[in-house]
Amino acid sequence: MVYSLSTGFVKQIFLSENSGMNIILHHGNGMTSIISNLNSTRLKPGETIATGDVIGTVNNIEALSVGRVDWLVALNGYGINPLQFTASP
């Protein structure tokens, strides 16, 4: 499962030949998340999300037999390191 890093709303959901299902989330204060390579989601554009809500399921890469998700976080249009929003192990 893939979870939301913060509250916000679903701006857009689209499919791409290269990156599968993509979801764009707006978290407010200029912060946006783009999650790619999802297998499925139950979210709809315009839907509000809370921190920790399930965004979708991971898409398995057949050649590797593992799941992979791409996660981009932007602040005011500039990419930032998303690891600062994750907990330390």
> For the domain with range 2-77, which CATH number is right: 3.50.20.10, 3.40.50.300, 2.70.70.10, 3.90.470.20?
2.70.70.10
Measured CA to CA in angstroms, residue 14 lies from 39, 44, 77 at distances of 12, 11, 19
What's the first-to-final CA gap in the chain, in angstroms?
18
pLDDT digits (tens, 9 = 90+) for 10-33: 999 999 888 889 999 999 999 999
Ordered by start, the domain boundaries in the chain are 2-77
Number of Cβ atoms within 10 Å of the Cβ of 39? 14
pLDDT digits (tens, 9 = 90+) for 37-72: 898 899 999 999 999 999 998 876 665 556 678 889
